[in-house]
Amino acid sequence: MTALSINLNKVALIRNSRDTVIPDVVQHGRWCLEAGADGITVHPRPDQRHIRVQDCFALKAALDTELNIEGNPFAPARRSDRAGVSDYPGFMALVEAVRPAQATLVPDGDAQLTSDHGFDLERDGDRLAPIIQSLKSFGCRVSLFMDPNPNAMAQAAAIGADRIELYTEAYARAHEKADFESVLARYIDTALAAQAAGLGVNAGHDLNLDNLPDFAIPELLEVSIGHAFTVDALQYGLADTVARYQRALGKP
């Protein structure tokens, strides 16, 4: 069955809009797990606009669950200019210190509002290969954020990735127009190519209660959902929203 990992970035974003510790990111993670979520995802950016460095350590220490840390592996250290907010040590140093179960590598930058494309392995593959080996030496499973391109899957496997995460915005936009079959077919082709290369397949970005049941990817291992989950939780409550997403994944 597909694992449901809840991304807590938007919970942290609400907290950071005030000089407060409310909402408590760790407590929300605990509530998600108690309601039946299978794991927790965070995506700390160097500007720490939502998830902060100390959140990663706190979640790792407090929750007995699979923690997935996403980020740009090329992101360097950055000093914090806010009182009470730790310096960002660089993505690799952060992952080495926290040791999450999974590190998902994403080619994003501060100028992006959110992640909006996958890796170009023709350009970045040689740089990523030693990074992936370092992450594996930390005990992490490594996933690469990728566009639905079947031709790139063999190279993703060749540079050492364990999984890919399908960037699903194109599917979500097509689903909104009720004309998604041809787009979905490319995701299926990519998933099959990944699996043929020995890679596991995750997915994330703009998946929601409406489009998730139609995302018929074979042997999909994990979805990470944050923005839509947080919005739905405002309407249905957190525990009911976890249950709704698990049902959307086909679980009883």
Structural domain span for residue 82: 3-248
What is the per-residue pLDDT for 117? 81
Show the CA angle centred on residue 8, arms to residues 5 and 9, nearest 5°.
125
The tokens describing 184, both together, are: 């979905």
CATH code assigned at 104? 3.20.20.70
Does residue 234 carry a pLDDT above 70? Answer: yes
Which of 13-17, 74-78, 139-143, 150-154 is the least confident region? 74-78
Query: Known catalytic residues?
Result: 43, 70, 205
What is the per-residue pLDDT for 140? 98
Which of 221, 215, 225 minimizes the C-alpha distance to 245?
225
Which of 145, 157, 143 minimizes the C-alpha distance to 194?
157
Residues 30-60 have pLDDT tens digits of 999 999 999 999 999 999 999 999 999 999 9
Pairing of strands 220-225, 200-204: parallel
What is the per-residue pLDDT for 109? 64
- pTM for this structure? 0.95
Domain count, the chain: 1
The secondary element (H helix, E strand) that includes residue 40 is: strand 39-42
Alpha-carbon torsion, ordered 102, 50, 118, 191, to 10 deg: 50
Exposed e or buried b per residue across 40-64, where buried means at least 16 C-beta atoms within 10 angstroms of its C-beta:
bbbbbbbebebbbbebbeebbeebe
